[in-house]
Amino acid sequence: MSEPTARPPSVDALARSISSSGLPHPLCVDAARQAIAEGDPSRAADIANSIAAALLVPVVNATGVIAHTNLGRSPVRVDRAPRAQNLEFDLSSGQRGSRQTGIGRLIARAVGAEDAIVVNNNAAAVLLVLAALADGRDVAVSRGESVEIGGGFRIPEVLEQSGARLVDVGTTNRTRVADYRKAITKRGNDIALVLKVHPSNYRVEGFVETTPVEQLAELGVPVVADIGSGLIDANFPWLTDGPPAWLAGEPAARQTLTAGADLVTFSADKLLGGPQAGVVAGRADLVAQCARHPLMRALRPGGLVLASLHDTMLSYLSRDASTIPFWRMATAGLDSLRTRATAVVNAAGVGSVVECASLPGAGSTPGATIASIGVAIDGDRTERLRRHSPPVIARVSDDVTILDLRTIDPDDDDVIVDALRSLD
Ligand SMILES: *Cc1c(COP(=O)(O)O)cnc(C)c1O
């Protein structure tokens, strides 16, 4: 007779033995059950760690990509006490109000629009505009702008979902105003609006022609411009040194409206530097039509997001880039980055100070880089750095790990020192 095999530990005892993972008991039980089911109870702690690693935690972005889509795009400050807010309450009248009134005014003022509303992201903004203004009708889009932005945002599919019909205009590389006019006057077409889309994350070069908003504005149908990145104003009044050289050619909300667009839509968490949200701004009657649409209820943002976006827009209107983390990082001087990098290397006793290049990120400004300063360590150390608490996310180039100081909040330099000291 063979020896009786050791009884597996009880789920409960194993779950309690991994309580130091910090996970609530039910999740320790899940880890224990899975380890026992796999026939290897000793794996319970590892499984618990992988459950913990999937929870949402603050991380240090040392990648050099400022608005890193995988790291929540633009970093924003959120420091509110648990208090009620006048989200839908008019303090002057004591009556019910709209969550859009206050934020709409701030955005409209910043971009020079009559009015503005906020939804959950720019994909929602485009969907809402098309559903509210073109349901059952035709929308003219240049073949060169019928784009996919990433993460499943494809213009033809968004149009289909909205109930509007896509009318392709022009060719992939060249679309002239005459092509739009032909689509508008063609018998059988019922063009409700022209949609111009900024092909944010790619660029076509060579024999290329697109129709500027100024010309589209003369067609006699509303022009909606999805400008994508949410650059507020091409004059950058919030930056003391004026337009940054790396951002040439990015469309801005204010100038697109001045050029004659009836509406613009954009993301709040790309170059705007706010929380995840989408904006529809422009003619008051069209904004009101969007706000009245039944989809608005499903797409409306919560009070946390609106409070954060309020703060961001107040910073713009106060012309104070230092309180918008995206712009503070994007415009940090090389001397200050080098000073910080040198201090980090000296304190950690490892690594060296190197020149590197940051990216604005969020699928905007393809090819644009910002000169930066980093700390380099030989070899790929990214896994160890990810396991640090808080996790440090770095990048590897030619078997050298680089931590780019531009995207690291100066308050986290100590974290970097600690993480580097803990490397073998
Ligand atoms: C990024 C982008 C979108 C999608 O915006 P989200 O806020 O990520 O939903 C749509 N259109 C354009 C042109 C973009 O650049």
How far, in Å, are 94, 222, 227, 318 from residue 219 at the CA level? 45, 8, 19, 37
CA-CA distance, 418 to 424, in Å (whole number)? 12
CA-CA distance, 409 to 424, in Å (whole number)? 25
pLDDT at position 204: 80
Distance 111 CA to ligand 1 centre (A): 18
- In short, whether 74's Cβ falls inside 6 Å of ligand 1 is no
pLDDT at position 1: 45
- In short, whether 278's Cβ falls inside 6 Å of ligand 1 is yes
Q: Are the beta carbons of 198 and 251 closer than 8 angstroms?
A: yes
Q: Are the beta carbons of 92 and 356 closer than 8 angstroms?
A: no
Residue 344 half-sphere exposure, CB side, CA atoms within 13 Å?
32
Instruction: Give the residues across from 356 on adjacent strands.
Output: 372
Higher-confidence position of 335 and 4: 335
- pLDDT at position 382 over 60: yes
pLDDT in tens, 145-167: 998 887 788 999 999 999 999 99
- pLDDT at position 366 over 80: no
Tokens matching residue 214: 């100024």
Using pLDDT thresholds of 50, 70 and 90, give the confidence band for residue 78: confident
Query: How many of the other CB atoms lie within 10 Å of CB of 98?
Result: 15
Average pLDDT over residues 197-213: 86
pLDDT in tens, 279-319: 999 999 999 999 999 999 999 999 999 999 999 999 999 99
Q: Are the beta carbons of 271 and 360 closer than 8 angstroms?
A: yes
Using pLDDT thresholds of 50, 70 and 90, give the confidence band for residue 203: confident
What size, in residues, is the chain?
Answer: 424
Distance 124 CA to ligand 1 centre (A): 9
Torsion of CA 33, 38, 43, 45, to 10 degrees: -20
Tokens matching residue 397: 């180039």
Instruction: Give the residues across from 154 on adjacent strands.
Output: 148
Distance 47 CA to ligand 1 centre (A): 36
DSSP structural state of residue 228: E
CATH for the stretch 101-301: 3.40.640.10
Using pLDDT thresholds of 50, 70 and 90, give the confidence band for residue 249: confident
- In short, whether 120's Cβ falls inside 6 Å of ligand 1 is no
CA-CA distance, 239 to 237, in Å (whole number)? 6
Backbone angles phi, psi at 396, to 5 degrees: -120, 135
- pLDDT at position 3 over 70: no
Residue identifier of the C-alpha nearest atom 1 of ligand 1: 228
pLDDT in tens, 126-136: 999 999 999 99
Instruction: Give the residues across from 265 on adjacent strands.
Output: 226, 280
Return the residue matching tokens 């009620």: 84
Backbone angles phi, psi at 307, to 5 degrees: -65, -40
Instruction: Give the residues across from 378 on adjacent strands.
Output: 400
Instruction: Show Cβ contacts of residue 143 under 8 Å, excluding neighbours closer than 6 positions.
Output: 168, 169, 170, 171, 172, 175
Q: State which amino acid sits at residue 41.
A: P
User: Is 418 buried (19+), middle (13-18) or exposed (0-12) by CB count in 10 A?
Assistant: middle
- In short, whether 365's Cβ falls inside 6 Å of ligand 1 is no
Average pLDDT over residues 319-341: 96
- pLDDT at position 186 over 50: yes
Tokens matching residue 46: 């590892």
pLDDT at position 5: 62
- In short, whether 200's Cβ falls inside 6 Å of ligand 1 is yes
Q: State which amino acid sits at residue 100.
A: Q
Q: First CA to last CA across the chain, in angstroms?
A: 50
Ligand 1 pocket test, pick from 200, 231, 265 with the greatest ligand atom count within 8 Å of Cβ, gives 200
CA-CA distance, 129 to 170, in Å (whole number)? 23
User: Is 70 buried (19+), middle (13-18) or exposed (0-12) by CB count in 10 A?
Assistant: exposed
Tokens matching residue 247: 């951002």
DSSP structural state of residue 218: T
Distance 270 CA to ligand 1 centre (A): 9
Average pLDDT over residues 102-114: 98
